[in-house]
Amino acid sequence: MSGEAEYLAIPAPDRAQHLWRYTPWHRIHPTGKPEEIPSEVSSAVVSLTMLDGSEPPKGVSVSAIDGDLTRNIDSDIGGAFIRALSEESVVKIRIDDGIIIEQPLLLTVESTGSVSGIQIDVSVGANSQTELLTLIESGADWFGLMRCGTIDKSAIFNDVVVNRLGASKLLRIEQFTLLRDAQVKFGTVGSGGVQTKGDLRYILNGRGANLQVNGAILSAGNQHNDHHVEIMHEELETFSRLKWHSTCGGKSRTIGTGMLRIAHGAKGSDSAQVFNNLLLSKDAEADSIPELEVLENEVVGCGHGTASGPVDDDQMFYLKTRGFSDNGARGLLITAFLNSTLNEMGSEKIHNWLDQLISGGLSSTS
């Protein structure tokens, strides 16, 4: 079945489905008409370098491949739509077994035109130690990014996706599988785009797999950011933490939904999630919906929580008595709030790079 036929065979989801409750499919669709597949699609361009601009070392490669990426979920309409758009834009990033890289890799994704999309397969070899930053730059009016991959046994991998789109819509679809004893951090940093819908899924399929998922969302103006994160524990003694922080200014809206699933037989699993939202204006809105589905009795722990609130007046007063202006004190508190998740996304090199990125966008948060 072709990509177009596959997509058209899937019924458009209604808002009764958890995934599409807060951002209906027609709202993130590029034309607003789910039965349409745009005929004019621009290819995205990717480049892979080290963070300092130098060439990646031997054992790290990026190449075009044949065939589409798939996810093992029912009615994957977002994935099917991106596959239909990007059948000729499929890229594989390969990190060989045993590779140890001291400096982060930087994957830059650029797009042009009205509609663009790309599929990226990420293969991380066993016993490797690497960090990957993916920067989505301004370009197409609508961009679809699909990433799938496997983190092999005993690999240590830090991965951060940064949304720096301009006045664009972003549909981001993702699924990664962690094998035995893999230690992985996935980070999401959002400061661009007018509307973002993320469907991010992670499967702990190897005993001892360790996963941390962190989000830092800087939302302003009329931006709409909706991220759905699912973490599935399918093996013994797996560990996960989901920590998501969003700042909401202007008339923006952020939504964070988290689902932690522990399968029957995944004894000794330890899982928790927390969503925190900082409201920067009276017109901003933040919704957080943490959920658990536990089918195993012998678990170490399963917890969830959420909190939302404005900038603390006492903290503002404290900083202003020490010489900070209103904007300076406010900016410092926002930075500290987001840094609590940025700090956990990877090495000091990644954190410093992300901190400068976030600090440059604080002026538009009111």
pTM: 0.93
Following DSSP, what letter does each residue of 25-43 receive, concatenated?
HHHHSSSS-TT---S--EE
pLDDT digits (tens, 9 = 90+) for 172-214: 999 999 999 999 999 999 888 899 999 999 999 999 999 999 9
pLDDT digits (tens, 9 = 90+) for 25-77: 999 999 999 999 998 999 899 999 999 999 999 999 999 999 899 998 888 99
**Residue ranges in the chain whose pLDDT is less than 70:** 1, 318, 358-366
Q: How many helices (H) and strands (E) does the chain have?
A: 6, 19
The radius of gyration of the chain's CA atoms, rounded to the nearest angstrom, is 20
